[in-house]
């Protein structure tokens, strides 16, 4: 049975509670048992610039980055343990959103800490997996879906995947051969100038998979570079029109 993915940072699909705030507005206040001691804990988030403050009961955490138009939600990353977590979603400047995940643990000497931050909205299935996005490293400016988990120290850790969806539509500006696979470098086609293609996916290390109306295959990025192609020996921006060069 497929496990449903639960969107946890929007009010329409919250797990246990959510609210939003902008700089200068009244603080967010939520109440839930976070540390599993059977008593409700009061979460207060005060948003602003140049930083924001998170308070759970009498324990305070301060962050030195702006938090404008943020929202917070109670989440449960793993329903089989006794803890619940909460998130602070910040839309960020230039459409660069991020979500921070917090925990409040312990009973005699409670600890409030930020577990980690991921790009974009954070999702979870309640079975320990965390879904978000991260910025790609090769070819162009892009981001891709990323699966995370909490390791033994309850730190957010990436789970590497074989391929990441890219889906960039381009027009070829210069001939480029494409290969049968990453392991088999038999040339299956040569993409020609003016040909419309979609760069479907990448391993975000060295290889990208591209498709046109007549063929599909792989091309390679030179190791240690972002966009320098192996064949032809040229920058990818010289070969494909439509790649993103945003900051």
Residue 1 falls inside a structural domain: no
Does residue 168 or residue 67 have the better pLDDT? 168
Rounded Cα–Cα distance for residues 199 and 52 (Å): 40
| CATH number of domain containing 223 | 2.30.30
Identify whether residues 80 and 42 lie together within a single domain: yes
Report pLDDT digits (tens) over 37-73.
Answer: 999 999 999 887 778 899 999 999 998 877 767 788 9
pLDDT digits (tens, 9 = 90+) for 113-145: 999 999 988 999 899 999 999 999 999 999 999
**Dist CA 139 CA 114 (whole Å):** 32
pLDDT at 152 over 90: no
| Domain identity same for 120 and 178 | no
Q: Report the domain count for the chain.
A: 2
Q: Count of CB atoms within 10 A of residue 183's CB?
A: 7
Residue 110, in any domain of the structure = yes
Q: Are residues 143 and 178 in the same domain?
A: no
Q: Are 125 and 5 in contact (CB under 8 A)?
A: yes
Q: Are 153 and 204 contained in the same domain?
A: no
Mean pLDDT of 9-24: 44
Same domain, 29 and 68: yes
Are 48 and 137 members of one domain? yes
Tell me which residue range forms the domain holding 188: 164-241
Residues 135 and 203 in one domain: no
């Amino acid at each position: 049975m497929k496990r449903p993915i639960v969107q946890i940072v929007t009010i329409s699909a919250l797990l246990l509670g959510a609210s939003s705030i902008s700089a200068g507005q009244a603080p967010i206040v939520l109440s839930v048992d976070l540390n599993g001691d059977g008593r409700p804990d009061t979460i207060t988030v005060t948003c602003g610039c140049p930083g924001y403050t998170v308070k759970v009961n009498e324990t305070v955490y301060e962050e030195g980055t702006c938090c404008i138009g943020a929202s917070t939600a109670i989440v449960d990353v793993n329903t089989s343990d006794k803890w619940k977590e909460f998130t602070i979603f910040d839309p960020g400047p230039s459409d660069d959103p991020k979500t921070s995940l917090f925990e409040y643990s312990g009973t005699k000497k409670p600890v409030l800490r930020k577990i980690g931050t991921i790009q974009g909205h954070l999702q979870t299935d309640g079975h320990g997996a965390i879904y978000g996005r991260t910025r790609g490293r090769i070819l162009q400016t892009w981001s891709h879906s990323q699966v995370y988990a909490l390791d033994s120290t309850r730190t957010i850790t990436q789970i590497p995947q074989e391929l990441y969806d890219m889906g960039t539509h381009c027009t070829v500006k210069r001939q480029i051969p494409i290969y049968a696979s990453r392991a088999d470098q038999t040339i299956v086609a040569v993409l020609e100038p003016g040909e419309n293609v979609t760069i479907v996916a990448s391993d975000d290390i060295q290889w990208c998979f591209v498709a046109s109306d007549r063929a599909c295959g792989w091309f390679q990025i030179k190791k240690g570079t972002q966009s320098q192609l192996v064949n032809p020996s040229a920058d990818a921006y010289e070969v494909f029109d439509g790649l993103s060069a945003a900051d």
